[in-house]
Amino acid sequence: MALRGTSRTGLLYAGAVVGAVALGLAGTGGSSGDDEHGGGHHHDRARNVIFIQGDGMGIAHRELIRLATLGKDGQLAMDSLRFAGWTHTDSVDPEEAVTDSAAGATAFATGVRTYNGAIGVDADGHPVPTLLEHARDLGKATGLVTTAQVTDATPAAFGAHVPDRGDHSEIARQYIEESRPDVILGGGEDWWFPAGDPGAWPDHPDEDATEESRSTHGNLVEQAQHKGYEYVSTAEELKKADGDRLLGLFANQEMFQQANEGEGDVYAPPVPLMDMAAKALDVLSEDRDGFFLLIEEEAIDEMAHNSNTALTIKSGQALDETVAMVLDFAKHHRGTLVLVVGDHETGGLAIENVDAEDESGEGQSAEDGPFPLAGSDLEFTVDWTSGAHTGAATPLTAEGPHAVELARSQPNTAVFDVLLEAMRGH
């Protein structure tokens, strides 16, 4: 078979194979993907594509989660996927050198680099088709699952086109009228109900008095129901739901509260990420042509912004448990491509010995910890060098049809090329 390059990167397939071998292909014993379920053949069609994102998750975050939960000899489910590479995260923002989540997700979703704050549009503000929309046009079912607001940057970039990520109600309107994902699960009910109509989640809750309904397009939940969506707002309702189009909003805003460590923070989504993802898989897998599903754990980013190591670990563990469930699904559904990646790195995270010199500062900037290293008597500290995003590349692991093409150093836009090619079967 002739060697060939990707449409945007110019990197040869041969380079991908070399990159895969160089990265060790965790757990494969050097296999090139010949088994029945986990192969990475570049010529196979992906019936199902499951795009899993840990928002703000860099390589140090993955190592933090591993060391704190499994120890030095452990392996995360997200690190067990056959092929590994990394993505550059640069946006083309004219004023900022480091990307935000909107530009990062738009690059994954559309294959186009754009400015910070842009959702599904190029640098000139023109709409660009997304992977979710391509999947829909191929006859596949589609879904968005997140612990953030369902209209937040990452899910929005796959299902909407607006020049400003803050236009949440317009994003919601586009979901139900234009991109039409079959499953939408997460937080952000405030953007679906107009002022004065609190919906299922009361305005001004004790944990955050600023939360209140504020839709600019009327009652969008009611509009969604008129278009055939079954609406649920609790874990029990989600469990009982049996419709083939499902809208679930389980919080006013994000499905967790975030704060500096020790300041009343908590990570306890009313519906766990794994439960939402499992329900989405149940619904979407009924489609005879397969599906595209985005799954996002937002709390890794939010906790890293607040230098909150304990809840970065906890939310990362929830993500990894979800990945394990997804991999079990893929094992039993041939032709499923699974990808785990971060859109950018948050916090400039460094893992250090307890006795290392603390050069980071005081208060929130002081080193965090110590934390136990699982399975040992050792401890480590965490140094957050920033409260913002950094320009670091993010690790990517993948398994399934075309996964081998992701085993390289690549711009984030190249992920779009590979996934679209995988769905088309080229």
* Residues of each annotated binding site for Mg(2+): 55, 152, 154, 296, 344
The binding site comprises 55, 152, 154, 296, 301, 305, 343-344
Quote helix, strand, coil % in the chain, to nearest 5: 30, 20, 50
233 is catalytic: no
CA 378 to chain centre: 32
Active-site hit among 91, 101, 179, 213: 101
E-strand ranges in 267-416 read 291-297, 336-341, 345-346, 349-353, 368-372, 379-384, 389-390, 394-399, 409-411
Cβ atoms within 10 Å, residue 314: 21
The binding site for Zn(2+) comprises 55, 301, 305, 343
E-strand ranges in 33-155 read 48-54, 83-88, 141-149
Phi, psi of 279 (to 5 degrees): -65, -40
Cβ atoms within 10 Å, residue 294: 28
Pairing outcome for strands 141-149 and 349-353: unpaired
Pairing outcome for strands 389-390 and 345-346: antiparallel
Cβ atoms within 10 Å, residue 118: 31
Contacting residues for 153 by C-beta, under 8 A, at least 6 apart: 100, 101, 102, 104, 105, 119, 165
Task: Please list the active-site residues.
Answer: 101
